[in-house]
Chain A
Amino acid sequence: MQTPTHLLRAAAVLALGASLSGCFFSKSTANPALPPEAVARIVPGTSTADDVVAAIGAPNEVVQLGRRSAWKYEHTVEKQAAVFLVLLGLRGVDTQADRVWVFFDEDDRVLHVGTLFQAGAAEYDVPVF
């Protein structure tokens, strides 16, 4: 039996398309993770700057606020996923963070602690339209 020509052509196009397509996944992080249980040891009105350093280490950023100050801790996770088809690439990038801000009074005693734990929500997400 002879294979129809148009089926052979379709198979050839599919094979070419498959050979020219690809995909990748990547995950990158910045700064160490911020364990919630360590952050919970920071108590406004009681903890000092030394206690904060002992609990979660050195900050990523220090902001002067007059005689007061604020320290920033941030751990980011970026996930990328992409599919490359014959004529088109589809790529998704999702960046999320765990972030903590500690506000100090002029005696370096903790006034407030702001926390956000969203790094775990970063997803590999290839967009479709």
Chain B
Amino acid sequence: MSARLRGIAAPALGAALALLGAGCVDGDYNRRRIYQEPLAESVDALTVGTSDVGAVVDSLGAPLFVIEVGLGLALAWGWEDVTNWNIEVSGPIGDAQGTVRYTSETSTIRGLVLFFDEAWRLTSVRRGFLGDLLPKRLPPRDVDLDISAKSRDD
């Protein structure tokens, strides 16, 4: 190492250690994996209007959510595999203490939601972010009243 380089490296290292010692710099690199995506070829093999709930769970396995939708239902799968950076720098700014934080983290839980009609036959397949796809959950209720009301609406 040249004398000039040593002259630069030593103060830089000293500054880095001083920042670390003071708790001024904190960085982390994370990987988060949650569940697994259903096989694309299994999803592609499903047929709208023909595949039923039994065929779908046989092919894709147990979903993450089962949600009642009208007189039918939706089956939802969700998964995530992301890496992200978090860096935080803090220190005095004048008389105050300041902190700057950078994160590359985003909510990226991907989803696959399959919708079924009253006969539990597949009506549509949707892909995207799970939070955008999930239908609203219905509260528990009197089934007979609910079904007769929906039949009148139809």
**Proximity string of chain B (66-87) to chain A, C-beta cutoff 8 Å, 1 when within and 0 when not:** 1110010100000000010000
Q: Known interface pairs A65-B68, A116-B62. Does A90 touch B35 (Cβ–Cβ under 8 Å)? A: no
Q: How distant is B27 from chain A, measured CB to nearest CB, in Å?
A: 5
Q: At the interface, is chain B mostly helix, strand, loop or mixed?
A: mixed
- Counted as pairs of residues, one from A and one from B, with CB atoms less than 8 Å apart, the total is 109
How far does the Cβ of A86 sit from chain B's closest Cβ, in whole Å? 6
Interface size class of B (residues with CB under 8 A): 35 or more
User: B4 → chain A, closest Cβ, in Å?
Assistant: 14
**What does the 1/0 interface line of B134-148 toward A look like (CB < 8 Å)?**
000010110100110
Measured in the bound complex, the distance between the Cα atoms of B55 and A44 in whole Å is 13
A contact patch SS: strand
- Chain A's interface size range is 35 or more
List, in ascending order, chain A residues with CB within 8 A of B61's CB.
99, 114-116
Inter-chain contact B20/A63, CB cutoff 8 Å? no
Interface residues of B in 123-154 (CB under 8 A from A): 138, 140-141, 143, 146-147
Is A24 in contact with chain B by the CB < 8 A criterion? no
Decide if B31 touches A93 in the complex (CB within 8 Å): yes
From the candidates B13, B27, B58, B138, name the one contacting A88 in the complex (CB within 8 A): B27
Instruction: Tell me the smallest distance from the CB of B42 to a CB of chain A, in Å.
Output: 12
